[in-house]
Amino acid sequence: MDITPRKKLVHLDLKGAPPRVEYLHKLIELFSQLGADGLLVEYEDMFPYERELKLLQATTHPAYSPEEVLSMQEFAKSKAIEIIPLVQTFGHMEFVLKHRSLWNLREVPYCVGTLNPHKEEGVRLVMEMLRQVVKLHPGLNTLHIGADEVYTLGEGDESKLWLALPNRTVEKLFLSHVTKLARAIKEEWPHMTIIMWDDMMRGMSQETLIASDLVGLVQPMLWNYTPDLDVEITVSLLEKYHSAGMTELWAASSFKGSTNVYTCVPSTVRHVDNHLQWLRVAASLSAGVTLQGIAITGWQRYDHLSVLCELMPVALPSLASCLQTLFLGHFNSEAQFAVTEKLGISSVEVEEIGRSSAVDSMFPGRRLAELTVELNTLLNSDDIRFFENDMFIRGWFSPYHRRMKLVTPLITMQVHSKASGILTTLQQKVDTMREEMMCLFHEATVQEWMEEHVHPVMAPLRRITEEIRACVKEMVP
């Protein structure tokens, strides 16, 4: 079996590094040219919530305006790209529950992401979020309600009371909230297709799922982003959902944002391998079990309060390779050539694409991708990473020497010269990259990326140069 005739959605995670609108349109154009059918858009605090929900909008940079959200849809529609909003409704509610006025809606005080399922105020809040999103998406037919990684569920006082009654479990508590929400959505928008993440249901029996009344209300999206995805287990899960009556199933893969929470540059082969495994899953499903499509996720953060993952420009070769893998069913030299030809690059691995003076055309943000790779390589070079292990620093400028201000000026000035040279080179690259980043992202994203990747490297070098100057001043007349 082949999932390529089904929908292929590119996940656009806007809870970190939201692109400027002009760049967003260029990305949508590229996604269309690469063969994507839709966008799974996770707005979070970039959505222009109004009235009592206005506090949910981002404060570090401007949220998209209603006009910008509508223009994005119009542009996507002109490229035959469907937009499916993803609105978290249970877990990963950090961007909502971080606000002091909404702390009382948390399941437990110390978990910022999980909604208390017992408070009607919480359901009303979620429904109002959905109303505003649906209103700003005219003609919307499909919603993704999240519901993954509902941490600490069952640990709140009200949940403990609920669970104390016979035949009640955390599984049933989860299902009751999602069922209540799904019914409310269907009552308001009877035509609406509802998708949700599957992970909270993976350990549930078929009987539990059937008894939940969730069957017929939602379509599970089973996510797995690993290059060694277990085909047998994944097929078993999908067939369990199908047997329970959830016959419309989705897959979710990854083209970035799933290697490590702080990864800066993605590995294309890792993400291609994930898609090859998904193709094996699709081919192994029993007759009659099919996938509606696949969402190719591109996480920008692991959650609202974590650091930035890879920026979109450096991940575009990976995305193009993953889509090509889905189209062809493999990723041989022919597929790789198709990707490099389309994007105008020399390799599918962004670290090896090389410099080019060509116009971006099929690769919006290429210059930033090149600069990111160059700067990341420099920041992780042995000369910089292990600078404080240099023989001269450990031998003639140890913490003891610094404290006592007892140094050999001749040697320490050589160290100072080397550190200053590295700092100058770094600063030049940082300035160039900052200028390029500002064209595609807001200042807040630029600042965050620099503080995450650059400042931790440059700060120790600056400290060494300052300490050397102070020590030498004590030793030289």
**Structural domain boundaries of the chain?**
7-357, 381-475
Quick check: pTM over 0.75? yes
Shortest CA distance to 103 belongs to which of 88, 122, 89? 122
Q: What is the Cα–Cα distance from 183 to 291, expressed in whole angstroms?
A: 24
Query: What is the dotted CATH code of the domain comprising 7-357?
Result: 3.20.20.80
Above pLDDT 90, what percent of the chain?
83
Query: Is the per-residue pLDDT at 134 higher than 70?
Result: yes
Q: Which residue has the higher pLDDT, 121 or 358?
A: 121
pLDDT band of residue 357 (cuts 50, 70, 90) is low
DSSP-based helix, strand, coil % in the chain, nearest 5 = 55, 10, 35
Predicted confidence (pLDDT) per residue in 151-179, tens digit:
999 999 999 999 999 999 999 999 999 99
* DSSP type of residue 386: T
Above pLDDT 70, what percent of the chain?
97
Residue 339 has which token pair? 């990707």
Predicted confidence at residue 355, as pLDDT, reads 66
Q: Which stretch of 5-9, 62-66, 71-75, 239-243 has the lowest confidence by average pLDDT?
A: 5-9
- Which residues have a catalytic role annotated? 149
Computed over every residue of the chain, the mean pLDDT equals 93
Query: Is the per-residue pLDDT at 283 higher than 90?
Result: yes
Predicted confidence (pLDDT) per residue in 95-125, tens digit:
999 999 999 999 999 999 999 999 999 999 9
Predicted confidence (pLDDT) per residue in 220-264, tens digit:
999 999 999 999 999 999 999 999 999 999 999 999 999 999 999
Cα 429-12-23 angle, rounded to 5 deg: 50
Predicted confidence (pLDDT) per residue in 322-348, tens digit:
999 999 999 999 999 999 999 999 999
Predicted confidence at residue 416, as pLDDT, reads 86
Query: Is the per-residue pLDDT at 358 higher than 60?
Result: no
Predicted confidence (pLDDT) per residue in 374-429, tens digit:
999 999 998 888 788 888 888 788 888 888 887 888 888 888 888 899 999 999 99
pLDDT band of residue 5 (cuts 50, 70, 90) is very low
Predicted confidence at residue 361, as pLDDT, reads 57
HEC secondary structure over 413-441: HHHHHHHHHHHHHHHHHHHHHHHHHHHHE
Q: What is the Cα–Cα distance from 275 to 218, expressed in whole angstroms?
A: 24
Predicted confidence at residue 380, as pLDDT, reads 92
Predicted confidence at residue 36, as pLDDT, reads 96
Averaged pLDDT, 37-64? 96
